[in-house]
Amino acid sequence: MKIPETLLQKYNVPTPRYTSYPPANYFHEEFTAEKNNAALIESNQSHPQNISFYLHIPFCGKLCHYCGCNTHISRDQVLIKDYVETLKKEILLYKNLLDPNRKISQIHWGGGTPNYLPIEEVEGIMAMFFKHFEFSQKPEIAMECHPAHLTFDYVDRLIESGINRMSLGVQDFESNVMQAVNRDESIIPINELVQYIKSKGDISINLDFVYGLPFQTPESFNKTIHKAVSANPDRLAIFSYAHVPWLKKAQQKLEKYDLPNAEQKIALFDTAFHVLTEAGYVPIGLDHFAKPKDELSIALNAKALHRNFQGYCTRETTGQVYALGVSGISQLDNAYLQNTKDLRIYKKAIEAGELPVEKVYFVNDEEKIVREVINELMCNNYLSFPRIATKYKITIDELKAILTFEEETIKQFEVEGLLIYKEDTVEITDEGQFFMRNIAASFDPKMKDNQKNFSKAL
C-alpha cells in the first residue's frame, strides 16, 4: 500500500492517542477526597458492571531508551517489597469501596516490568484478589512481561497463580536495534518460550513490537515479523514509536541515530501489516493483530470491540477499570482518577487510608457521547450516527452539534480515500487505518481550539 507523501505530511501532526477521552493531559488537580470517593461509590451503579483491576508495577532493571512508560529503575529489594505491601493495602481499600456483588472480569498487570517482581510477591497479590473478591466465569488475568526476566520456573508459577494471558515485549529481534535502545534480549528464545507457555494450557500470548527505532529497515523488520509469526502467538501489537523527549529525557539519547521519518515508519508498518495479514492475522484497531478465531477478531466482526488504557477488550471482559499502584489511571463511567507517580506520596496516602489520587477528570454527559464516538472509530473502524443518537436519546442533528461535525472535513477524508461516508455512517478504509487518530480527532470538539502537546500521529 503506497500512501501519498502529501497525506503523510498533512496528517503527521500532534494528535491524541485516545486511550482515554478526554486524553490524560486534560486531567487536573481540582478535586477533593470526598468527591473522588463519591465517584468510586457511584461507579458501583454504573456500567459496565464488571470490575477490571489494573496493577502498576513501576520497577525495571534497566531503562530502555525508547521507553514511554512510567518506570522506576531499581534493584532495591526492600523498596520493591515495601511497594508490594502497600499495593496489598490498596486492594483492601478497594474491597471496602466496591459493591461485593460485583465480579472481577479482568486483572491487568502492567508496568514497568511486573515480572521483575520476585514470583512470591506476584503469588501473594493474586492470593489477595482470590481471597477478597468474586470473579466472573472466565476472567482475563494478563501480565506484561519482559522476556529477559522470564525463566521456565517463573512461567510455571505465574500460570499456577492464575495468569492466563501473557504479553511478551520483544520489540525487535535484531541485536543492533536492541543494543542501540539499551535493551536486554530474551535468554530463552522467544519461539521456545511461546511453545513452553502454550504447552501449559489455554494461555493466550501476545508479542509486542515497536517500529521507528534506530537501524530498523523494511528488510530487517520483515525478518523480525516473520520470526514473530513463526513463534505462533495469538496476538501481536506493532506500536509506532512515540517520541516525546520533552517528557522522557532518555529518548534524547536516540536522537544521535538517524531515526526513521514518517514515510520510513509507514514503510516499516506496511511491511509488518503484509507479513501478518498474509499469515492470516486480522488487523485490530490502530496497531493490533489477532488470529481470526481470537475473541478480539470475533468482536471486531460483531462491531463489539472495546478499548481501555490496557488495550483492546471485548464486551464480556470489559469492566470499569480501578487502577492500583503509582501512576495508574482508574477509568470509570463518570470519572478518571490518576494516581500519584511518586512512591513516597503513594505510600503515605495508602497508610492514611486515602486514595493516592493526583489528578482527575469528571466526565460530563456530552463528553461521554464524544468518548463513545471516538471509541467506535478507534475500535470498530465504524460509526453509525443513528445508533449513537438512539442510544443517548438525542437527534442526529443534536449529535452532530455536540461533535461540532463538519461535513466538509469528512468529505475531504472521503476524497482522500480514507473513509466512506454514506447514510449517516462512517467506515474507515484500509488506507484510513493509518490516519485513524486524525479521523477521530476531527470528531473531537476539544481539538477545535487545542492548546495541548501530543506525539505525532504517525
Ligand X SMILES: C[S@@+](CC[C@H](N)C(=O)[O-])C[C@H]1O[C@@H](n2cnc3c(N)ncnc32)[C@H](O)[C@@H]1O
- Residues 102 to 121 in contact with ligand X, rule: CB under 6 A: 110-113
Contact indicator for 394, 370 with CB cutoff of 8 Å:
no
Is residue 169 at the binding interface for ligand X, with CB under 6 A as the rule? yes
Nearer to ligand SF4, 11 or 66 (CB): 66
Binders of ligand SF4 in range 103-162 (CB under 6 A): 111-113, 146
Regarding 69 and contact with ligand SF4 (CB under 6 A), the answer is yes
Contact between 60 and ligand SF4 by CB under 6 A: the answer reads yes
Kindly tell me which residue out of 108, 146, 288, 347 binds ligand X, with binding defined by CB under 6 A.
146
From the list ligand SF4, ligand X, none, which binds 363 (C-beta under 5 to 8 Å, kind-based)? none
Burial of 4 (0-12, 13-18, 19+ CB in 10 A): exposed
Q: What is the CA radius of gyration of the chain?
A: 21
> Which of these ranges, 25-33, 63-71, 156-164, 393-401, lies near ligand SF4 under the rule CB under 6 A?
63-71
Residue from 39, 67, 158, 207 binding ligand X (CB under 6 A): 67
Q: Is 210 in the site for ligand SF4 (CB under 6 A)?
A: no
Residue 74 beta carbon to ligand SF4: minimum distance, rounded to whole angstroms: 11
The answer to whether 357 and 339 are in contact (CB under 8 A) is yes
What pairs with residue 110 in β-bridges?
Answer: 56
Applying CB under 6 A, does 63 fall inside the site for ligand SF4? yes
If binding is defined by CB under 6 A, does position 208 make contact with ligand X? yes
> Which does residue 242 bind out of ligand SF4, ligand X, none, counting CB within 5 to 8 angstroms by kind?
ligand X
Q: Rule CB under 6 A: is residue 384 a binding residue for ligand SF4?
A: no
Q: Is 271 in the site for ligand X (CB under 6 A)?
A: no
Contact present, 249 and 277 (Cβ < 8 Å): no
Going by the DSSP 8-state scheme, the letter that residue 186 receives in this structure is: P
String of DSSP letters for 16-85: ---SSSS-GGG-BS---HHHHHHHHHHHTTSSS-SEEEEEEE-EESS--TT--S--EE---HHHHHHHHH
Cα of 335 vs its chain's centroid, Å:
18
Which residue in 16, 114, 139, 169 binds ligand SF4 (CB under 6 A)? 169
Query: Which stretch in 67-75, 86-94, 238-246, 429-437 sits in contact with ligand SF4 by CB under 6 A?
Result: 67-75
**Residues in 291-320 that interact with ligand X by CB under 6 A:** none
Near ligand X by CB under 6 A: residue from 140, 144, 174, 416: 144
Nearer to ligand X, 19 or 49 (CB): 19
Q: Which CB sits closer to ligand SF4, 71 or 204?
A: 71
C-alpha 207: how far from its chain's center? 14
Question: Could you say whether residue 211 binds ligand X (CB under 6 A)?
Answer: no
Q: Rule CB under 6 A: choose which of 64, 236, 238, 337 binds ligand SF4.
A: 64
Please state, in angstroms and rounded to a whole number, the distance separating the CA atoms of residues 416 and 117: 49
> Least CB distance from residue 239 to ligand X, whole Å?
4
Task: Map the footprint of ligand SF4 across residues 71-110, applying CB under 6 A.
Answer: 71
Nearer to ligand SF4, 113 or 251 (CB): 113
Q: Which CA distances in Å does 348 have to 35, 74, 92, 312?
A: 20, 20, 16, 33
Q: How far apart are CA 252 and CA 259, in angstroms?
A: 11
For residues 452 and 432, what is the distance between their CA atoms, to the nearest angstrom? 24
Q: DSSP letters along 376-411, please?
A: HHHHHSEEEHHHHHHHTT--HHHHHHHTT--HHHHH
Report the Cα–Cα distance between both ends of the chain, in Å, rounded: 15
CB neighbours of residue 278 within 10 Å: 9
Site residues, ligand SF4 (CB under 6 A): 60, 63-64, 67, 69, 71, 111-113, 146, 169
Site residues, ligand X (CB under 6 A): 60, 66-69, 110-113, 144, 146, 169, 171, 208, 210, 239, 241-242
